[in-house]
Amino acid sequence: MANGIIIIDKPAGWTSMDVCAKLRGMFHEKRVGHAGTLDPMATGVLPVFIGRATRAVEFAADSDKEYIAGLKLGVVTNTQDTTGEVLEERECSVTRTELEAALSRFIGDIEQTPPMYSAIKINGKKLYELARKGREVERKPRSVTIHELELLGWPAAWEDFQLRVRCSKGTYVRTLCHDIGQALGCGGCMSSLRRTKAAGFTLEDSVTLEAVQEAVDRGEGESLLLPVDAYFAGLPMLVLKNTEAEKKIRNGAALAARDVPEGEYRVYGADKTFLALGKAADGRLTTVKSFFQV
C-alpha cells in the first residue's frame, strides 16, 4: 500500500487535480491530495500526498510559496494572464528604477481582490463558472503577505520581465502582476509562472510524471515516495521510551511530559516508527495528528 509524499514538477496544461488523478492510477491508491493549486499554465513544484500521508495536507497547504513569474506590461486581460482575452493594450515605457519602486510598494501585507477566473466559491458557485457566463460579482479583498519581490535582470524583450516572488498562501501571482501594471499606469498581466518552492520542497526535490511512470513500470514507483515525516523534518524528534507510552499515543491519550520543553514534535515509537505530530504543553504531550498505519 502506497504511503508518502512525492514532489511533482507539474507540466503546463495540466490542472493540479489532473496530476492527482494520474498518480491515483499509477499507485492504485484512492487517497491522493496536493498542497497548493497551480493553474494549468503554471509549472513547477506540486507536493502530492498519497495514502496515509494525505493527513498532512492541511499543514502543507498553509505554507509559504516561491515563484518565478513573467510580467508582461502594457496588456490587460480578463484572466489577468496571457491565456485570457485581451481587454486593453497600452503603450508603456518604464525605467528599471520606476519598476523597482513600484515593486517595493507590494512588499509586506497587502490586500488582493481575487480574480473572477478563480475557484473561489460565492453563494455556492465557483467564480470562474460565473466568469465564463460573462458575469462579474463583487469580491471582498483578502489580506496576503508578499515576503520578497525581486526583479531578475532586465530583459531583451522589454515588456516581459521575470520576477521572483515569495508569498503567503492564498496569493494570486497573476493578480499581483495585474496590480503592478495598474500601479505603473500601463496595465500588466502574467505571462508565465513556475513555482520553485512549496511546503518546504524545491524543484531539486521534484520529479516529472514521465519519470514516475517509468519507475512504476519497473515496479519501483514507491521508491520515489518520501516518508510523511519528511514534511515535519524541521521539528525536533521525540522517541517514546516504552510500549505503554506508545499505546497511549496510538489511542489518542495524553502522556505526562514534564521534562519535555513546550512545542511541537515528531513523535516516534521505540522502534523509530513515526506515530504522530505531537504538542508538549503544561507538562503533557498530546496528539495533534496521528500518522501511524491502523
What mean pLDDT is predicted for residues 159-178?
93
As a CATH number, domain 4-63+200-230 is 3.30.2350.10
What percentage of the chain has pLDDT greater than the value 70? Answer: 91
What mean pLDDT is predicted for residues 66-84?
94
User: Does residue 132 register a pLDDT over 70?
Assistant: no
Beta bridge partner(s), residue 47 = 7
Domain boundaries, the chain: 4-63+200-230, 65-195, 237-290
User: Does residue 127 register a pLDDT over 60?
Assistant: no
User: Does residue 179 register a pLDDT over 90?
Assistant: yes
- Which CATH number is 65-195's, of 3.40.50.2300, 1.10.10.10, 3.30.2350.10, 3.90.650.10? 3.30.2350.10
Same fold? 4-63+200-230, 237-290: no
User: Does residue 131 register a pLDDT over 60?
Assistant: no
What mean pLDDT is predicted for residues 213-218?
96
Active site residue 39: yes
User: Does residue 129 register a pLDDT over 90?
Assistant: no
User: Does residue 145 register a pLDDT over 70?
Assistant: yes
63 — pLDDT class (breaks 50, 70, 90)? confident
Catalytic residue among 9, 18, 39, 179: 39
| Sequence-separated contacts (24+) of 54-61 with Cβ below 8 Å | 55/228, 55/289, 55/290, 55/291, 56/5, 56/228, 56/231, 56/232, 56/289, 56/291, 57/33, 59/231, 59/232, 59/277, 59/289, 60/35, 60/36, 60/198, 60/199, 60/231, 61/35, 61/36, 61/169, 61/199
pLDDT per residue over 226-284, tens digit each? 999 999 999 999 999 888 999 999 999 999 988 899 999 999 998 999 999 999 999 99
36 — pLDDT class (breaks 50, 70, 90)? confident
User: Does residue 157 register a pLDDT over 70?
Assistant: no
Instruction: Supply the pLDDT for residue 120.
Output: 61
Half-sphere exposure of 254 (CA within 13 A, CB side): 11
CATH architecture of 237-290: Roll (2.30)
Mean pLDDT, all residues of the chain: 90
